[in-house]
Amino acid sequence: MIHSLLAKFDKNIPVAKAHCDIPCAIYDPSKAQIAALSVIRFLDLIAEIAESEQLSIAQQAKLSRLVREKEIHAAIVKEEVRVIWGDYMKQPQFDAYPDMHTLVHSIMLAGGAAKQHVDVENGHKLMSLVNEFAEAFWATKGVETYRATCPYPPSVETVYPKLG
């Protein structure tokens, strides 16, 4: 009852922070999106190498680098999404997007598949889910979004916030 009464004067009561981490409050899914685009790009380049009948030493070296980077960037996608989901999102966001847990879990699975295999479709699936996540994230901020083809390879549809 006293809490309800105080809640009516909420605007005049200062807030004492008790955050679980350094309260930087900077959350943005763009890093996850760029990492997902990179995964597609690496998968495209791997597919190009796969067309060769025999690989030179230089091609083998390039393939090794591409596979390594693909796995690193798929892991970045998973980490970035996990942080937003775990640190930024709270009950009000989950109430607004009841499927958020399922979406994040799907991103974890798609990220794992993109790490394990070299099928380009895995990269596109990951990007599609991360785009969906970005739309939901910006909606929680009250920021409109639009979809456009990114202006660099792999030239796939990407969600951007409408700012300014």
Partner 1 sequence: MIGICKISGDSMLPDYKDGDYVVYLSALFGANYSIGQCVVVQHADYGLIIKRIAKVREHHNYGLKSESGNGLNEQQLGVVHRGQIKGRVIWHIQARNPATKTTQN
Whose Cβ is closer to partner 1: residue 3's or residue 162's?
3
Stretch that binds partner 1, among 12-20, 26-34, 57-65, 153-161 (CB under 8 A): 12-20
94 or 160, CB closer to partner 1? Answer: 94
- DSSP SS3 for 25: coil
**Total number of residues binding partner 1 (CB under 8 A)?**
18
144-147 contacts: CB < 8 A, separation 24 or more? none
Residue 104 tokens read as 């994040």
Closer CB to partner 1, 22 or 58, in the complex: 22
Examine residue 8 and tell whether it contacts partner 1 (CB under 8 A): no
Write b or e for each residue in 36-68: b if 16 or more Cβ atoms lie within 10 A of its Cβ, otherwise e: bbbbbbbbebbeeeeeeeeeeeeeeebbeebee
Q: Is 25 in the site for partner 1 (CB under 8 A)?
A: no
* Contact flag: residue 17 with partner 1 (CB under 8 A): yes
Q: How far apart are CA 86 and CA 11, in angstroms?
A: 27
User: Which range, of 2-10, 37-45, 54-62, 76-84, touches partner 1 by CB under 8 A?
Assistant: 2-10
- Give the binding range for partner 1 (CB under 8 A) out of 6-14, 66-74, 118-126, 144-152: 6-14
Q: Is the four-CA dihedral 118, 81, 151, 121 of positive or negative sign?
A: positive
Work out the number of other CB atoms within 10 angstroms of the CB of residue 83: 14
Residue count (the chain): 164
In whole angstroms, what is the distance from residue 162 CA to residue 69 CA? 30
* Interacting span for partner 1 (CB under 8 A) from 18-26, 48-56, 102-110, 143-151: 18-26
Asked if residue 51 binds partner 1 (CB under 8 A), the reply is: no
Name the site residues for partner 1 (rule: CB under 8 A): 2-4, 6, 10, 13-23, 90-91
